[in-house]
Amino acid sequence: MLKIKKQPYNSVWISADSQKELGETFIRFQEFYENPTSKFRNQIFTLGQIKNFYSVEYGADLYSTTWVGFNFPSRVLVPFRQGLFDPLTSYEKELLDLLKYRYDSFYIIGAQNNSTLRHELSHAMYGYDAKYKTEIDNFIKKHKKKFYKVSKHLIDTGYDKSVINDEIQAYITDNDNEFIRENLDSNLISEIISIYKRHRKHDKKLG
């Protein structure tokens, strides 16, 4: 069973009874949003097709352990609501039912604990706060060569290039990526954190 809780940055937090259930719920929403291949990103596909893709890439049915947190903007719900992903799974139907009265622009997060939630909220902030996103994007662009190594690492990990800046800021502000800590100038890390702190909503309880 899914549970929903309101979060800062006009986002909602979805949790499940297990990590596997969470992954089964989010897999097609998430891969429609940011799969690294054009075969799935912004395309219509079956559950079997995306599971086959991940079984080839990472091993059979390891999606829920390969990816433990999920995030996407509400526009991703549109093709699912329109019936383009027919048939929906029972998990997908449950998620859509939780959000059936919301047609505004908001952010959906999937996480099983506060640690993962913290990381995913950085994505919600990046998607919600245009000034924060612009400042982060401009800073990374200004130092593009210095960010090249970590950008390539994230792409090799399985992220699409369109979300690399978002992932960089989330991993840095969450201090949750050893490769980035060891391969990025500490001054750049400090500046990303400084930008984050200037925009973060301190008056909201997170989690």
> Which stretches of the chain are assigned E, i.e. beta strand?
3-7, 11-15, 70-73, 107-110
131-144 pLDDT tens trace = 999 999 999 999 99
CB 108 within 8 A of CB 4: no
Q: What is the DSSP string of 3-44?
A: EEEEETTTEEEEE-SSHHHHHHHHHHHHHHHH-SSTTTTTS-
At 72 the three-state DSSP class reads strand
The yes-or-no verdict on residue 174 having pLDDT over 90 is no
Q: What is the mean pLDDT of residues 155-169?
A: 93
The yes-or-no verdict on residue 60 having pLDDT over 90 is no
pLDDT confidence of residue 204: 47
What b/e string do you get for 174-197 counting C-beta neighbours within 10 Å, with b at 16 or more? bebbeebeeebeeebbeebeebbe
What is the domain partition of the chain in residue ranges?
3-116, 120-199
The yes-or-no verdict on residue 206 having pLDDT over 60 is no
1-57 pLDDT tens trace = 999 999 999 999 999 999 999 999 999 999 999 999 999 999 999 999 999 998 888
pLDDT confidence of residue 201: 65
CA distance 49 to 66: 17
Mean pLDDT of the chain: 92
72-128 pLDDT tens trace = 999 999 999 999 999 999 999 999 999 999 999 999 999 999 989 999 999 999 999
CB 123 within 8 A of CB 170: yes
Pairing of β 3-7 and β 107-110: unpaired
CA torsion, points 189, 178, 153, 109, in degrees to nearest 10?
-80
CA distance 42 to 33: 6
Report residue 200: phi and psi, to 5°: -65, 140
